[in-house]
Structure 1
Amino acid sequence: MKNVQMEVKGNNLIITVDLTQDHGPSKSGKTIAVASGGRGLVALVGVQTNQFPRAVDIARPLRAADVPVCIGGFHVSGCLSMLPKIPPEIQQALDLGISIFAGEAEGQFDKLLRDAYRRQLKPIYNVMADLPRLQGATLPVLPQSDLEGRLSGRASFDSGRGCPYDCSFCTIINVQGRKSRYRTADDIEKVLRDHYALGIKKFFITDDNFGRNKNWEAIFDRIIELRQEEGMQFSFIIQVDTMCHKIPKFVEKAGLAGVNRVFIGLESVNPDNLIA
Structure 2
Amino acid sequence: CPDELRGRCDALFVEEAEETWPQFLRDFEAGVPKSEYRAAEKPDLRNSPMPRFDLLKVDRYHALTIQFARGCPFNCEFCDIITMYGRKPRMKSVAQMMAEIRECHRLGSHQVFIVDDNFIGNKKIAKELLREMARFGRENGYPVDFNTEVSIDVALDAELLGLLRDANFKTLFIGIESPRIDSLKETGKTQNLREDLVKSVRKVQSYGIQVQAGMIVGFDHDDHSIFEEQLQFVEEARIPVSMTGMLQALPKTPLHARMQREGRLLA
| Residue 56 (structure 1) aligns with | none
Alignment of 1:100-111 (within 5 A): 100-111=12-23
Tell me if the contact between 1:139 and 1:157 (Cα under 8 Å) persists in the aligned partners: no
Structure 1: runs of 5+ lacking an equivalent: 1-78, 81-85
Residue 145 of structure 1, CA deviation: 4.5
**What is the SS of the residue equivalent to 1:263?**
strand
Q: Check conservation: 1:104, 1:131, Cα contact below 8 A.
A: yes
In structure 2, distance between residues paired with 1:103 and 1:222: 32
Alignment partners' CA distance in 2, 1:147 and 1:156 = 11
Q: Structure 1 CA distance, aligned partners of 2:161 and 2:218?
A: 30
Aligned-residue CA RMSD in angstroms? 2.2
SS of aligned partner of 2:177: coil
- Tell me the equivalent position of 1:231: 141
Aligned to 2:46: 135
Partner of 2:68: 159
Report the equivalent of 1:194: 103
- Structure 1 counterpart of 2:116, which letter? D
| Aligned with residue 273 of structure 1, among 218, 232, 245 | 218
* Residue 114 in structure 1 maps to residue 52 in structure 2: no
Corresponding residue pairs, total:
185
Residues 220 and 257 in structure 1, CA contact (< 8 A), matched pair in contact too? yes
Deviation at 1:236? 0.8
Q: Given that residues 142 and 168 in structure 2 are in contact (C-alpha distance below 8 angstroms), is that contact kept between their aligned partners in structure 1?
A: no
| 1:55-108 CA distance string (max 9 Å, x none) | xxxxxxxxxxxxxxxxxxxxxxxx23xxxxx12xx24523xxx21112222233
* Cα deviation, residue 147, structure 1: 4.5
Moved segments of 4+, more than 3 Å: 143-150
- Give the TM-score taking structure 1 as reference length: 0.61
Structure 2 spans left out of the alignment, 5+ residues:
184-216, 221-246, 248-267
Q: Provide closer, same or farther for how the CA distance between residues 179 and 223 of structure 1 changes in structure 2, counting only shifts above 3 A.
A: same
Give percent identity, aligned residues only: 26
Q: Tell me, yes or no, if the aligned pair for 1:268 and 1:274 is still in contact at 8 Å.
A: no
1:133-179 Cα shifts (integer Å, max 9, x gaps): 122421313248444554x2x11111111123222111111111232
The aligned residue for residue 57 of structure 1 is: none
TM-score (norm 2): 0.63
| Whole-Å separation in 2 of the counterparts to 1:266 and 1:148 | 33
Deviation of 1:232 (Å) = 4.7
CA distance in 2, matches of 1:91, 1:267: 33
